[in-house]
Amino acid sequence: MAHFILPLLLISVTILGFSTIVESRSRARMYLELQCRSALYPDLCVQTLLPYVSKTGLPIPRLLAQISLASCLTKARFTKTYLSMVAKKLNETENSGNNQVVEECLHQINNGSNVQTWVSAALTDATACIDGILGEGIGRREQTMIKARLLNVKQLASNSLAMFSRFTTRYRASRGIKNPEILS
- pLDDT of amino acid 20: 47
Supply the pLDDT for residue 183: 45
pLDDT for the residue numbered 172: 81
Q: Looking at residues 101-128, what average pLDDT do you find?
A: 72
Q: What's CA 106's distance to the chain center, in Å?
A: 19
Query: What was the pLDDT predicted at 46?
Result: 95
Q: Can you tell me the distance from the alpha carbon of 69 to that of 161, in angstroms, rounded to the nearest whole number?
A: 8
**138 or 30, higher pLDDT:** 30
**Helix H or strand E segment including 69:** helix 61-92
Q: Are the CB atoms for 155 and 180 separated by under 8 Å?
A: no
Rounded Cα–Cα distance for residues 155 and 19 (Å): 33
Q: Quick one: which of 159, 74, 69, 149 has its CA closest to 115? A: 69
At residue 47, does pLDDT exceed 70? yes
53 contacts 69 by C-beta, under 8 angstroms: no
pLDDT(142) > 70:
yes
Rounded to 5 degrees, what are φ and ψ at 162? Answer: -65, -45
| Kind plus residue range of the DSSP H or E element containing 83 | helix 61-92
Q: Does 166 or 22 have the greater pLDDT score?
A: 166
CA-to-CA distance for 10 and 17, rounded, in angstroms?
11
Average pLDDT, the chain: 77
pLDDT-derived band at 30, boundaries 50, 70, 90: very high
| Residue at 25: amino acid letter | R
Neighbours of 110 (CB within 10 A): 12
Q: Is 54 left (phi over 0), alpha (psi -120 to 50) or beta?
A: beta
Q: Which of 35, 41, 44, 40 is nearest to 65 (CA)?
A: 35
At 90 the pLDDT is: 77
Q: Which tops the pLDDT comparison, 163 or 124?
A: 163
- CB of 68 closer than 8 Å to CB of 160: yes
* Model confidence at 49: pLDDT above 90: yes
> Using one digit for the tens of pLDDT, what is the confidence trace for 57-81?
788 888 999 999 899 888 888 888 8
